[in-house]
Chain A
Amino acid sequence: MTDPAHVEQIVRDGPAGRAAVVFVLPLFEEANRLRRTVRLAMRALAARGIASLLPDLPGQNESLLPTEAATLARWREALARHVRDEDAAVITAATRGGALIDDIDAAAHWRLAPASGASLLKTMMRTRIASDREYGRDTTIADLDRMAADAPLRLAGNLLSPTMIAELRSSESAPLDRCRTVALGAGGEDRLAGRPLWLQAEPGEDAALAEEIAGDIAQWMAACAIS
């Protein structure tokens, strides 16, 4: 019997049986802001004959696992399983906090604007402080650190376990072989033109950025001789 915690939705696009791109979204609220554009990038890859998949990791999106049971280690493990389950070569494509869990065995890696766990955690704590203040509660980062030491903490709509918070605090994206890293910005070899949708409250979508993402990943796959 399949462990119910391991039944997560996977969105797939492109031809079956070919090398595939596994997308890793940013973490938490930032994922919602970029999902639509990543889906468009998957379409754009399919138009180039490249397959891709976007799995929910345990505790994300439609997963039945409660968010406080999620840890970065568990996400990394689930991601590695998705890569192993593919019949053909796989390249990971991670954005922002997704690059904290993409250090798994894959044919190659691609990263867009990787972020440190500490910086993601700080923004979420500041958001919690701002929301507490609107209810007349004066909370500090030190208060939140204390609360997070032994009980799940609600940050920006997510209940995070003490383990997850400790992992975030100390996580950087790991150095990887065969890994291309790009940033957003105008001009330059390692830059894609587009808006940092993950930062914006009402991001909408960026079809031009999706096209750039697909084009850059396709080129990197060709450079790594993955097909």
Chain B
Amino acid sequence: MIYEGAREVEAAVRAVLGDVLGIDAARLAAFRDDSELFGALPELDSMAVAGLLTEMEDRLGITIDDDEVDGDIFETFGALVRFAQVKALG
């Protein structure tokens, strides 16, 4: 599914990952849909997830119910982007 604004949401998710995890621009630009996140990025621990969720809420103007957050959305970059796109764009 391609929504209007899907690219912008992807860019926002990429920026949030960079800002919260302190990942440099070159590494960040290399993230693809199937790039693994949780378990593959040493910076991404359960504490960092707290900051990621709130930053995504603030920047995308969405509300994330903690019940809908499970390990799956942090499995790959693509999964996180799709979660954010559905939240932000419906």
Contact = CB atoms under 8 A, between A and B. Distances in A.
B53 interface: yes
Given A119-B58, A141-B66, A199-B51, A130 B19 contact: no
B75 interface: no
A201 to B, nearest CB: 6
Given A123-B54, A126-B66, A200 B47 contact: no
Given A126-B53, A199-B19, A199-B51, A140 B46 contact: no
Contacts of B49: 126, 130
Dominant secondary structure at the B interface: helix
Which of B43, B49, B54 has the most CB atoms of chain A within a 10 A radius of its CB? B54
A90 B66 CA distance: 43
A197 B55 CA distance: 13
Given A140-B66, A141-B66, A131 B47 contact: yes
Interface in B38-64: 43, 45-51, 53-55, 57-58
A14 B54 CA distance: 37
B90 interface: no
B12 interface: no
A126 B50 CA distance: 5
B80 interface: no
B19 to A, nearest CB: 5
Given A119-B57, A122-B54, A199-B55, 10 more contacts: A115-B58, A119-B58, A123-B51, A126-B49, A130-B49, A140-B66, A199-B20, A199-B51, A200-B21, A203-B22
Interface of B: 19-22, 43, 45-51, 53-55, 57-58, 66
